[in-house]
Amino acid sequence: MPGLKGYRFSVVWLLAVAAAAGCSARVPAPATTRAVPVAVPQKAPCPPVVLLTAFEPFAGLETNTSWEVAKRLAGERVAGHEIVVVGLPVVWERARAKLGEAVKQHEPEAAISMGVGWSGYIEVERVARNARGPHKDNRGLLPPAREVEPGGPAEIETRLPTTQIVERLKELGLPVRPSDSAGKYLCNEAFYSVLRATGDGTPAGFIHLPRAGPDRARRPTRSEMEAGPVAVEGLARGIRAAIEDALGARQMSPQSSARQ
């Protein structure tokens, strides 16, 4: 079972990053017991956040392309927004809980969850479903329930501008297509969860990335060979473009930025 320590971020680390960036961190001020005047240097507030989540390796993969892409984008600025990356474990319930905590902490202006697939294409998912399949997670355990959220909506449409993103990534020369099925594993769970955790006015959704690197080179599927080669750097450029389009959609009215 792959270790998770590569995905754990401490409060101390977050404060250090905020200090280095010259902005005030989103953490409560410590309580004081005496009214002692202290000169506190004024810092600009932290920039608004775009939340980007990705998964650890699973199913025998050496790496997870979504995480490799996320690492390359962590801390970048897009249209005045900072990309904050959060790694998710391939573990039923835990992935959903960690994603929800990240949304509460960062209050993102946009949120994109990513995962890896074997189709060879970047797939911009359009519909999240409140369903889990009988698939074992990285602990070797089946899901504790058939639904992601008992009693929740059966389906939720993405809040990403799907058509716009697909066309933009095609212009970048990337193999991309829309998809109406994110499966019934942790990717669909993250998709459903990010839509439930964020507000209706927040662009949010899920993008499947094709495998890149040694796992694909070792044993490519027929679909991957038909789609053509991809590199992590190119996929990172594509996700950055998707973030730009998502932030652009946020500036539109709820009617004009409706699900595509």
Supply the residues annotated as catalytic.
Answer: 125, 187, 208
Which token pair is 223? 């679909």
Contact assessment for residue 240 and residue 73, using Cβ atoms and an 8 Å cutoff: yes
Nearest alpha-carbon partner for 194 in 137, 246, 234: 246
Question: What sign has the CA pseudo-torsion 75, 116, 171, 129?
Answer: negative
CA pair distance 241, 236, nearest whole angstrom: 9
Residues in the chain: 260
**Count of C-beta atoms within a 10 Å radius of residue 30:** 5
**Count of C-beta atoms within a 10 Å radius of residue 54:** 27
